[in-house]
Amino acid sequence: MRNGEVTLSESGRKLNEVFPYNYAQHSVIGKTRAEVKAELIEAVRNGEVILSESGRKLKEVYPYNYPA
């Protein structure tokens, strides 16, 4: 049931074939939460984070806080 291997009686197809978005966690390749957090920390450290108000990066608004 967890993997969607159960067959539907009316069509004979498996759950993971009919509703693939419900079982995508096994096939999705992406970054872990820890990897995303590490990237965010690095971006903040380097001033690469974009300020939503102006659309400019932190290092553009506060250049004295970041080495050239």
Cα–Cα distance between 64 and 59 in angstroms, integer? 8
Average pLDDT (42-52) is 91
Q: Which of 32, 33, 60 is nearest to 48 (CA)?
A: 60
Look up tokens 């965010």; give the residue.
40
Confidence band, pLDDT 50/70/90 cuts, at residue 44: very high
- 2-24 per-position pLDDT tens digit: 777 888 877 788 888 888 878 76
Cα–Cα distance between 40 and 34 in angstroms, integer? 10
Confidence band, pLDDT 50/70/90 cuts, at residue 39: very high
**If you average pLDDT over every residue of the chain, what do you get?**
84
